[in-house]
Amino acid sequence: MKTKRDAGKTRQQGKRVKNKENTKRAILRAALELFAEKGFYNTTTKAISRKAGIAEGTLFNYFETKEDLALYFFEDELDGVIEWYDRNTRLKRATVSEQLFAIIQQFLDHLAPCEEFIGAVYLRALAPASKLSPWSLQSQERQLRYLQFIRRVLAQAETSGDIPRVGDFGAYAFGLFHLAIVTHWLRDRSRGKEQTLALLDRCLKLGTHFLRKGGWDW
């Protein structure tokens, strides 16, 4: 009897977690739509909760501020990209420069519909007290997952001999490069942002070329 009740409890808990996750997603979707429509700063939490079909008070249970919303957005995006990468069997056999290209491009592709929101978030992240700042512990959690993911990709390339050993430093360096590319992307006014594609491709090809040829013996 006891075990049965426990199982029911876990099931219910599982259901609750799932419901919670669904609500979070619904809020994010509503928020992103409003950001695209009215801009990040002009969107009120009231408008978001109305669009998501929940009470404004409930919204705060999930996200204290719009910054928390942004953090959740990046979490979600990172999950999506990792999942996408692990499912993509063709990409596994590609060169490391193509893999890294595809990863950043996949991120950018997700960012594209909410460009203005990302731009606003970037500005906010400059403030030291912001949760979005790279130094905030909350964003570090996500940052660590990101670095571990990149580390994993690089380690595969190291094993196959595609590049020399770059260690954890390689992942950090790539993370910085990723940020630089997103910054370029935000400012890119070329059609379909093709300048960013060209830049990304050339940088990665050059980078892996030098790693391969020179290793660390500069």
- Extract the tokens encoding 81: 């990209």
CB of 197 to another protein, least distance (A): 4
Query: Residue 46 in contact with residue 34, Cβ under 8 Å?
Result: no
| Helix, strand, coil percent content, the chain, rounded in steps of 5 | 80, 0, 20
Query: Phi first, then psi: what are they for 175, rounded to 5°?
Result: -60, -45
- Extract the tokens encoding 96: 């490391």
Residue 191 binds another protein (CB under 8 A): yes
Which residue from 90, 81, 96, 94 is spatially nearest to 204, judged by alpha carbons? 96
Q: Which is nearer to another protein, 102 or 121 (CB)?
A: 102
Q: Which is nearer to another protein, 23 or 195 (CB)?
A: 195
Rounded-to-integer distance, Cα 218 and Cα 62, Å: 51
Query: Residue 133 in contact with residue 179, Cβ under 8 Å?
Result: no
Residue from 156, 195, 207, 212 touching another protein (CB under 8 A): that is 195
Report the chain's C-alpha Rg in angstroms.
20
Residues 29-68, interacting with another protein (CB under 8 A): none
Residue 186 binds another protein (CB under 8 A): no
Residues 83-112, interacting with another protein (CB under 8 A): 90-91, 94-95, 97-98, 101-102, 105, 109
CB of 109 to another protein, least distance (A): 7
CB of 102 to another protein, least distance (A): 4
Query: Residue 96 in contact with residue 85, Cβ under 8 Å?
Result: no
CB of 200 to another protein, least distance (A): 8
Q: Which is nearer to another protein, 98 or 162 (CB)?
A: 98
Binding site for another protein (CB under 8 A): 90-91, 94-95, 97-98, 101-102, 105, 109, 190-195, 197-198, 201
